Amino acid sequence: MAPFHSISPPKRDQRRNDDIGGETKKGRRWERRRLRKPIVVPLPTPADSRAPTTQSDEEQSVPGTGVVRRDDAIQLVDVKPALSSSSPRADVGRRLCLLCPPTEGQATWILPSDHGVIRGTSDGFLSLINTTGKASTALSVLRWRPPGPCSGLAACSGAIGTDDRNTITIVVSYEDILSVPGLQSDSAPQMVPSMTYHLALTTDGFEVLGFRTKLARTLAFDGTWSLHALYDGETDLYVRNWLSDKYASLEFAPEEPILAAEIIGRRVVVISMRRISIFSLDSLDKAAVPRGTESTMVDSIAQFSDSTGDDSVHKAWSAAVRRTPTSTLSPSSFAIVVRRDGHRIYADELFDDEGRHECRPLSCVDIQGNCFVSALGIDFECTHVMWLQHPRNSSSDGLSGGSSTLLCIPLRPEHGSIAADGVEPLVLFCDQNSMSLKHCDLVAAQRPNEAVIIGQQYSSMTFVLEGEGKSHAVDAGKNAVGLDNILTKQEGTVDEDIQTPTQQDVSTSLADRRVSWMTKRPADLEDADIQTIIKWSIAMRQSPSPSIQSGRGTRVTLARTHLPDDCVMDIAYMEQRFYAFPDGAYNALLRGFGVPGIPSLVAYCPPTQKIWAGIRCEGFDLVYGLQEGDRLGEWTVETYTVFPGDTRMLPDGPIGHKSCLFDQDRLFADHARAMDYYDAVFGNATEKDAALFRLGIRNSALPQDL
């Protein structure tokens, strides 16, 4: 397991330690006011000098859940965006709110859907927050936690589908979040490293339909077939039929990072950094075999590289895919794919004309050169692309200057105004004051003019941008919105023909596995808990699937003939520099380049300051030669594939930041996050509270005694 050495301000933005206790930052003190209901908590705005008022606890006992505490509220933020358009309207003031913060722990996985928001938390619970009602209808929260050994696991990925009976079903993968690479934990290894559950959503809550060990990283689900990218800790793209209990493997390069996937009709659509791949579900069904039998690889039936036609020039940094609405004029259209690289956001439409597949450009918009994008999504009705962008300001303020902006573009002319030279972005919201969206990495909505979910992974906060009509259940103006029902279930034994630990084996699992920060309310977190959560959230972003084993705990060993003469292989003194966050090569490989495993340091060339790292794979090694550029987030990487017996290394090809093949946006986001991490640990009281709020660890603007 890779060591986690230190969190420090980015080296280009370091401040002297004796400056930390200085004057408070402008605009980071907020007024506290009371909110009577816990579902929607308005966001802070810069306050005047009035002292906060104190409020008593307001509690409600709910059977099976103990005590539900009512959080206090603070003043709302009203922002009128700069641009205007007919659909959706940007001239309507919209307010940002908090959506049902977790009672305990931190979020480990968030999935907005048209059925509600599904969320996993570090205390092991899976929740479905119903956000589809009107303001006059109270919201409901369904909570469920697996039994036995999985009590020490948490939901890390999943997908939602509908079966033949039109029942909403969910496939969710639980993994051991304490064993994530990069996090030093005193806890013993989890008995079951990963477990994937098949759940049905009923009027009584979640019902277990089946489960399997070793499955992880769920990418898509259609009600019968699920798509996964990890099996027994190793990268392996495959589908599983939950009715027949069979699986099939997809022919896919393990070193190609997957950005998004969806099962649409009888097709499996996979978007990676370099291409769109389409697989036939009929072919996969024919090739499917029972568990314990080796499956043959199924090739894709169509592949499309970058829309420019040259996948060696651009690489997508993030992507989204959604089924084409039934109202689409062309009956052969089946999917909309949106991708983003370092210069633009572009949408393509996929067609299937009697087996002949096409990928046609749909719309495109340039990204502002001085901004980085942290979240990208398609609305559920597939009419608009939404993204969240922030200024690339690498000053001593730690990239915190400027404002976070939520924008959207229509996918088709009938959905909005498209300029002759492309699509005109529409500003939905501009967070000019509280910087609440600074670290958010998820956006979703039924339509952009309705309530927009804006989430921050690995935190205790999910935001809602209220809808224009203010009639949605998350309307911040309706403080009477509350809990209609909190239903908590702890499932008993599930009968299924697989080996599972006995109840005697797991009787003390929950007590032994849980550590304090995983179950504490955010207001109860101590300084030691906060520092652990900070390190954990960094490690989870670097390795979103904690059970991954590729390269883990092993070091690639190269012969002297593999490396230049000036390389040094006694590199213990370089370990701290390699693993340092956010400027180290370890973070650059995982976050910027998306390597398919856990890299280890191999060698170092002092004259050129080039770092060599590698990942041990089955039958070969992946080796990377990294050199940092002169500017923030600039790295050049050479990749090598080394087989046993090779005496020389020949590069697979050079990788450079200017060719858009290295995700600089993630590194900019990490640098911004590092400054807040630094303030949260070493800052004065005001800096600490503001940083913890932006990081989503604690709503520091609320009274701490709740």
- Give the model's confidence band at 110: pLDDT under 50 very low, under 70 low, under 90 confident, else very high: very high
Average per-residue pLDDT for the chain: 76
The confidence score (pLDDT) of residue 18 equals 33
For residues 52 and 613, the model is more confident at 613
Q: Do 564 and 471 share a domain, yes or no?
A: no
Structure tokens at 350: 């996929």
Residues 566 and 461 in one domain: no
> What is the percent of the chain with per-residue pLDDT over 90, rounded to a whole number?
39
As a whole number of angstroms, the distance between CA 247 and CA 287 comes to 8
pLDDT higher than 60, residue 460: yes
Query: The domain that contains 312 carries what CATH number?
Result: 2.130.10.10
CA–CA gap between residue 245 and residue 230 (Å, rounded): 17
Residue 428 and residue 569 in one domain:
no
> Of 468, 489, 510, which residue constitutes the final position of a domain?
489
573 Cβ contact partners less than 8 Å away, ≥ 6 residues apart? none
At 554 the pLDDT is: 83
State yes or no: pLDDT of 635 exceeds 70: yes
Closest to 614 in 3D by CA, of 626, 606, 627, 630: 626
Tokens for 482, please give them.
Answer: 């509350």
Higher confidence at residue 22 or residue 239?
Answer: 239
Which of residues 462, 489, 516 is at a domain's end? 489
Residue 91: pLDDT band (50, 70, 90) is very low
Q: Report the alpha-carbon distance of residue 276 to residue 228 in Å, rounded.
A: 17
pLDDT tens string 670-692: 999 999 999 998 899 999 988 99
3-state secondary structure of 671: helix
Cis peptide before 448 (omega within 30 of 0): no
Query: pLDDT tens digit string along 320-329?
Result: 999 998 766 6
Is 608 inside any structural domain?
yes
The string of DSSP codes covering 453-508 is EEE-TTSS-EEEE--SSS-BTT-TT-TT--EEEEEEEE------SS----TTTTTT
For residue 26, is it within any domain? no
Q: Would you say residue 393 lies in a domain?
A: yes
Q: How many domains does the chain have?
A: 2
Which pLDDT score is estimated for 580? 92
The residue with greater pLDDT, 466 or 174, is 174
| CB within 8 Å of 565: residues ≥ 6 apart | none
Neighbouring CB atoms inside 10 A of 420's CB total 4
Output the pLDDT for position 453. 93
pLDDT at residue 431 is higher than 60: yes
Note the pLDDT of residue 329: 64
Between CA 100 and CA 399 the distance in angstroms is 29
Other beta carbons within 10 Å of 300: 19
Q: In this predicted structure, which of 17-21, 103-107, 267-271, 662-666 has the lowest mean pLDDT?
A: 17-21
Q: Is 198 helix (H, G, I), strand (E, B) or coil?
A: strand
Same domain, 465 and 337: yes
| Mean pLDDT within 242-264 | 94
pLDDT, tens digit, for every residue of 53-90? 333 332 222 222 222 222 222 222 333 333 333 344 44
pTM (two decimals):
0.81
Average pLDDT on 556-574 reads: 89
Residue ending a domain, among 662, 677, 697, is: 662
Q: 674 in a domain, yes or no?
A: no
Q: Is residue 554 in a domain?
A: no
Residues 571 and 434 both lie in one domain: no
Q: Is 606 exposed, middle or buried (0-12, 13-18, 19+ CB in 10 A)?
A: exposed
One domain, residues 226 and 369 = yes
Of 443, 441, 484, 449, which Cα lies nearest the Cα of 466? 449
Asked whether 417 and 385 are in contact (CB, 8 A), the reply is no
* 67 burial level (CB within 10 Å; 0-12, 13-18, 19+): exposed
The pLDDT of residue 158 = 97
| Choice between 342 and 515, residue whose per-residue pLDDT is larger | 342
In a domain, 413, yes or no: yes
CA-wise closest residue to 452 among 427, 435, 434? 427
Helix orientation angle between 527-542 and 685-695, rounded to the nearest 10 degrees: 40
Q: Are residues 453 and 568 in the same domain?
A: no
**Is 475 in the same domain as 578?**
no
- Residues 43-54, mean pLDDT to the nearest whole number: 32
Phi first, then psi: give them for residue 677, nearest 5 degrees.
Answer: -60, -45
pLDDT digits (tens, 9 = 90+) for 116-167: 899 999 989 999 887 654 433 445 678 898 876 566 789 999 999 988 888 8
**Per-residue model confidence (pLDDT) at position 395:** 45
Most confident range (mean pLDDT) of 28-42, 299-313, 399-413, 548-562 is 548-562
3-state secondary structure 90-144: CCCCEEEEEECCCCCCCEEEEEEECCEEEEEECCCCEEEECCCCECCCCEEEEEE
Mean pLDDT value of segment 605-620: 91
6 within domain boundaries: no
238 shares a domain with 317: yes
CA angle 580, 319, 666 (to 5 degrees): 20
Nearest residue to 679 (alpha-carbon basis) of 692, 698, 664: 692
Indicate the range of 292-301, 493-502, 587-596 predicted with least confidence: 493-502
Helix (H) or strand (E) holding 587: helix 585-587
Look at residue 523 in the predicted model and tell me its pLDDT.
81
Question: Does residue 329 share a domain with residue 233?
Answer: yes
For residues 147 and 493, give the distance between their C-alpha atoms in angstroms, rounded to a whole number.
7
Residue 516 pLDDT grade (very low, low, confident, very high; cuts 50, 70, 90): confident
Please state, in angstroms and as integers, the Cα–Cα distance from residue 490 to each residue in 206, 474, 507, following that order: 10, 28, 14
Lowest average pLDDT, out of 433-437, 467-471, 589-593, 696-700, goes to 467-471
Provide the pLDDT for residue 514. 62
Residues 567 and 482 occupy one common structural domain: no
Q: Which helix (H) or strand (E) holds 270?
A: strand 267-272
- In the predicted model, what is the mean pLDDT of residues 353-378? 91
With residue 586 as reference, give the H or E element that holds it. helix 585-587
Least confident of 433-447, 502-516, 522-536: 502-516
29 vs 553: which has the higher pLDDT:
553
Range of the domain at 635: 560-662
State the pLDDT at residue 187.
47
Share of the chain above pLDDT 70, in %: 70
**CA distances from residue 686 to 24, 556, 699 in whole angstroms, order as listed:** 6, 45, 13
Q: Are residues 484 and 566 in the same domain?
A: no
Residue 455 is predicted with a pLDDT of: 93
Residue 672 domain-assigned (yes or no): no
27 vs 244, more confident: 244
